A and B are shown apart, each in its own frame.
Chain A
Amino acid sequence: MGMAARTSEQTLARKNTRRAWALVSPALALLAVAAIGPLAVVIVYSFLTAGEYGGVVWQFSTDAWVKVLLERDIFDDSLSFADAHLTIFWRSISLSLVTTVLTFLAGFPTAWFIATRPAAQRAFWLFLITIPFWTNLLVRTFAINQVIRNEGVMNTVLLWAGVIETPLQMTYTQGALLVGMVYVYLPLMVLPLFAALERFDLRLLEAGYDLYASRWQVLTRIILPISRPGIIAGSILVFVPCLGAYVTPRILGGGKLMMLGNFIELQFGQGRNWPLGAALSIVLLVIVTIALLVYVRTISGGDKARE
């Protein structure tokens, strides 16, 4: 009897596993076709030779990969670091990091504010947060440009008020880029933070104060560690699309302040170097993966040590 019960239990478990696989198979199929397929194409292309007018010639070459970081002197054929490329990498990574930090600094108090409103009011505040999503990203970015350009609203007002005598150059600066990116990605930080803070038990604050914690300690020892899942999710949601941002740097940075996204696009367009574009795409993917691994490791380090 015991044997019989056991085998039927096992069959049941096996049946459940099979059913689970059957249920996820459409998603897996979609992933295989939409993500892994193109990725394979990109990898293959990065090892081909660039065609004269774009496209690729089916001939193996590592030229694209060499060009990612190095450039060949046209006179003596010697290799040296491609400073322009490094600048773009560095700008992409640093701007994305700073944007992530700024959206967190602005987003956390916002999310806290919404999460501590009475339940009936929260929907309203969340609704306000999502309003920017209603308009196309392109339009919104042009709107920022209108505000900060030399003849724009900001300069006109400042000139009129006599604060400045000549228009401030704000467009095509890193500052403008940052403002634009923080503006665009702020909701992506606020929403996961809100989701984490909404479940936060406010009575824990009293427990903290009762146990002699200062306001700062209550924030760093109780609120932040408990809302860590929201912080991780928000940071990833902001950092990853920032690295590959295309529209915002294109409009607010002009052609001058390129980020990785624009640089990759350039290779497939005017640059007519598809293999280099493919190689750069893979580099972007690798940077994202490494950054995420390091980030998640560090931020959940405390846990690992404890267990």
Chain B
Amino acid sequence: MSQSYGISVRGVVKAFGQGPSAVRALDDVSVEIGGGEFFTLLGPSGCGKTTLLRLIAGFEMPTMGEIFLDGADISALPPSKRPVNTVFQSYALFPHLTVAENIGFGLKMQGKPRAEVAETVARMLALIQLEPMAARRVNQLSGGQQQRVALARALAPQPKVLLLDEPLSALDAKLRKEMQSELKRLQQETGITFVFVTHDQEEALTMSDRIAVMSAGHIEQIGTPREVYTKPVNRFVASFIGETNFLGGEWGTGGVKLSNGAMIAVDGKGSGAVTLAIRPEQVRLCASADAGAMPATVTELVYFGTDTHCHLALAGGARVTARLQSQASGDVAIGVGDHVHIRASAAQVLAD
């Protein structure tokens, strides 16, 4: 369908206010987003996700740096001149217009002929499955329906880039799941570049081609969901995405030596103190004779249905959580107070 544009954000700084009270919402952010990519900005509240989106949309001007769209500098263009549309967090639907008029608004402002507007609106209504609601006012719709109208309104003018600011955050869990797969399908069908903002890590992992993990105005890591999950570069990324055990140790030959004496095999080499990140599902129960086996005591068992979280105390006092798949019988064959042996099937060395 429509040919999609890549976005290039280069050395962007955005400061609000002046002097000592100035807030640096974005501090030297650079990112390359490919055409047709489903790119997610993930980070805690206040880290600058919305600010970056607003800079791409043109609602804010960068204090420093440039933004390119398909190779052209758009830093000076107003929002109405950018082939970029936004699905707002609050939806921002026009309350005085019907569903159909909301969807057709962008095309009408572009001066498209009436017939073309009507035709596109009909197609969009079919896409979001709200044909029977075409003549309704938007305030007569449920939250999920409003969200779909906001999506259709942003898609109707066939933008090269679609910006989505936590579009699913107002929906209940079930509807949210449905909309996630619908969004993903839409993105694949239209081939439009999606820049998607969320602070829900699971949403980011399941939907994105690539994720940028942000914190306090910086981008901490950019990578595929698999990369940021299995190879987090620092403590922030490792703890923000999924649960992680952090263990202190020192570089030894062939791996990292923990304070309790156990040796954990990792790629690479180095010297001095390091922190290891080990995902709970990478912690396995094992026999005492296995390589890298560490004695541990079970302190607590929490049943989660599909698996059981097993809290363990290591010999040196360090605490580790293991996620054990529930057995066919529905039970893990250990109890609180048991002495067991564990090993890490994979571990990641963190930069800090």
Contact = CB atoms under 8 A, between A and B. Distances in A.
Interface string A52-92: 00000000000000000000000000000000000000000
B96 A225 contact: yes
Contacts of B57: 210
A183 B110 CA distance: 41
Given A210-B57, A212-B109, A203 B88 contact: yes
Contacts of B109: 208, 211-214, 217, 221
Nearest to A215: B80
A211 B98 contact: no
A204 B92 contact: yes
13 contacts: A201-B92, A204-B92, A206-B86, A209-B78, A209-B80, A210-B57, A210-B84, A210-B86, A211-B106, A212-B80, A214-B80, A221-B105, A228-B96
B169 to A, nearest CB: 15
A282 interface: no
B98 A210 contact: no
A209 B110 CA distance: 11
Interface of B: 57-59, 78-80, 84-86, 88, 90, 92-96, 98, 105-106, 109-110, 135, 153-154, 157
B135 A306 contact: yes
Interface residues of A, number: 19
Contacts of B90: 201, 203
A207 interface: yes
Contacts of B86: 206-207, 210
Nearest to A217: B109
A241 B79 CA distance: 44
A212 B98 CA distance: 19
Nearest to B82: A210
A215 to B, nearest CB: 9
A207 B94 contact: yes
Contacts of A201: 90, 92
A212 B78 contact: no
A147 interface: no
B92 A211 contact: no
A226 interface: yes
Nearest to B150: A207
A226 B96 contact: yes
B92 A203 contact: yes
B88 A207 contact: yes
A222 B109 CA distance: 12
Interface string A277-307: 0000000000000000000000000000010
B94 A204 contact: yes
Interface of A: 201, 203-204, 206-214, 217, 221-222, 225-226, 228, 306
B88 A206 contact: yes
A231 to B, nearest CB: 13
A201 B139 CA distance: 14
A300 to B, nearest CB: 11
A112 B110 CA distance: 27
Given A201-B92, A306-B135, A206 B79 contact: yes
Q: Closest 5 A-B residue pairs measured CB to CB?
A: A211-B106, A207-B92, A212-B109, A209-B79, A213-B109
A211 B157 contact: yes
Contacts of B153: 211
Contacts of A226: 94-96
A241 to B, nearest CB: 29
B85 A210 contact: yes
Nearest to A204: B92
A217 B107 CA distance: 13
A295 B135 CA distance: 25
Contacts of A214: 80, 109
Contacts of B92: 201, 203-204, 206-207
Contacts of A210: 57, 59, 79-80, 84-86, 154
A222 B94 contact: yes
Contacts of A208: 105, 109
Interface-central residue, B57, B86, B109, by most chain A CB under 10 Å: B109
B59 A211 contact: no
A97 to B, nearest CB: 26
A303 to B, nearest CB: 9
| Listed residue (A201, A207, A209, A225) with the most chain B CB atoms within 10 angstroms of its CB | A207
